[in-house]
Chain A
Amino acid sequence: MIRLDRVTKSFRLKGETRYIAKDVSFTVPRGDSIGLLGRNGAGKSTLLRLIAGTIKPTSGRIIRLANVSFPLGFQGSFNGSLTGEQNVRFVARIYGHDTEELVDYVQDFAELGKSYYTPVKSYSSGMKARLAFGVSMGIDFDYYLVDEITAVGDSNFKKKCKRVFEEKLQNSDIIMVSHSNASLKDYCTTGIVLEDGSLTYFANIDDAIKMHDENMARR
């Protein structure tokens, strides 16, 4: 369960205070997957990071009685001078995961062959993305945070990613930012629409998509 308790998040831009969320309270029960909708710059990614806990609200608090993931396929933390395997080892350690098990899992999943043992700076962007997705899939979370699902690799690899991710979602939920109505409908049951600093929760994702489309048509 994740609960937002009177959460306000604002930031100052050119002397003007802008709000992402203003005094927002709601509870996300386990078993619901949420889609975050809103126009560009509405603050969807910021809200995702607030929920993850990597940034703090201006006021109010966020209570997480669940194990929340880092952004799915996050690769910004990979150190170029470390090998793929060493980078995986690091993530295993900070999550208290069996290192050898995760190293083996990702080796098998990412299909990097010998490159797994060479520095990440020599990787192509596709290889990096495969490594990152493998790490995300190798650790179990209650909630997966997704900032736009981006397809990785060739069509066979894509199929594998989709299959493994869907297996994961048997036991895990997802909080997802997306502009694609199709993937929102695929993965999410409920939705939140962000517009001009206000946040509206919908128990049904279809209603959220409808509201978002109306917002987009209006302006």
Chain B
Amino acid sequence: MAQIYSDPLLKSLKRQFAIVFALVVREMTTRYGNKFGGYMWAVLDPVLTIAILTTVFSGIAHVPPLGRSFTLFFSTGYALFYMYRSTSEQVSSAVEANRALLNYPVVRPYDAIIGRVLLQVATLFVVNLLLFGGLYLVVPFEQIDLAPILLASVIAITLGAGVGAANIVWFHLSSTYQQVWGIINRPAFIVSGVFFLPESIPHPFQDYLLWNPLVHIIGLFRTGFYPTYRAGFVDMPYIVGLAIFSIVFGLFLVWLFDAELREPK
């Protein structure tokens, strides 16, 4: 047994785990200030957005595209969009936000990335639990199917982490790109199917829309809440492949540009 513990690989893995754990604890206490109340904002962001969407759209239309509750329809769309968006944002700033800590030779850019992803997964878990738990009290859903819900969440978070990791490098190399990225991603919210179904979009535009992986992932997520909804347009190989490709490519870029990332911008 002693031999197993002196295995250098296992030992360095344990060290790496300890470093990531330290970063997670540190970010937990600093991210929203030192007070627990700060965490409210992680929950309030989706809740307020959904409330606004519900108020505005229930004034325009009489029934939502699916079911009878506007709140449930927008929640299932926005919760998933938020998982992707917040993960990609948190990861893309992971290295810059922890730059001072890179002065410790034991801390590598990868540790900051892994730490942020773990903290984000934990935060999103709590946020979604509160969001859908609260929602259940207001509009009880008939039945839910956890498999597509969890699968869609994992795909969205993986895609977000991959896009964020690649953006660590691109943002570091070009602040122009960072500006441009911010601008072209602003309408992402509108074209991701948060407040409509892709089935309702006329033909040539529907094809363009289906290039957006979030449309597929939101469709998959909704099948878990609406037992009769089929979402036949969901292309599983496309979204799974894209998520895996993005995380591998993103981490590869971080590895390739390790030397550049360690220098200040």
> What is the interface of chain A, defined by CB distance below 8 A to chain B?
52-56, 58, 68-71, 74, 76-77, 79, 81-82, 86, 90-91, 93-96, 119
Contacts and interface: CB of A to CB of B under 8 A. Distances in A.
Given A76-B103, A96-B18, A54 B25 contact: no
Nearest to B104: A70
Interface in B10-48: 14-15, 18-19, 21-23, 25-26, 29-30, 33-34
B262 interface: yes
Interface of B is mostly: helix
27 contacts: A52-B105, A54-B102, A54-B103, A54-B104, A54-B105, A55-B259, A55-B263, A56-B258, A70-B105, A74-B104, A76-B100, A77-B101, A77-B103, A79-B30, A81-B29, A81-B30, A82-B26, A82-B30, A82-B34, A90-B26, A93-B18, A93-B21, A93-B22, A94-B18, A94-B19, A96-B15, A96-B18
B106 A94 contact: yes
A141 to B, nearest CB: 10
B102 to A, nearest CB: 6
Contacts of B19: 93-94
Nearest 9 Cβ contacts at the A-B interface: A93-B22, A56-B259, A53-B105, A76-B100, A77-B100, A52-B105, A94-B19, A70-B104, A94-B22
A74 B103 contact: yes
Interface centre among B22, B102, B258 (most CB of A within 10 A): B22
Interface residues of B, number: 25
Contact of A90 (B22, B34, B103): B22
A94 B107 CA distance: 8
B103 A68 contact: no
Given A86-B29, A94-B22, A96-B18, A119 B259 contact: no
Contact of B262 (A56, A93, A95): A56
A77 B106 CA distance: 13
Contacts of A74: 103-104
Nearest to A75: B100
Given A54-B102, A70-B104, A82 B29 contact: yes
Contacts of A55: 259, 262-263
A86 B34 CA distance: 11
A81 B33 contact: yes
Contacts of B101: 77
Interface string B121-163: 0000000000000000000000000000000000000000000
B236 to A, nearest CB: 40
A135 to B, nearest CB: 11
A94 B102 CA distance: 12
A23 B26 CA distance: 40
Contacts of B23: 94
A74 B34 CA distance: 23
Nearest to A64: B105
A83 to B, nearest CB: 9
A70 B102 CA distance: 10
A66 to B, nearest CB: 11
Nearest to B260: A56
A122 B22 CA distance: 23
Nearest to A83: B34
Given A54-B103, A56-B262, A71-B103, A93 B30 contact: no
Contacts of B263: 55
B30 to A, nearest CB: 5
A55 B105 CA distance: 9
B262 A70 contact: no
Interface string B59-80: 0000000000000000000000
A56 B258 CA distance: 8
Contacts of B104: 54, 70, 74, 77, 91, 94
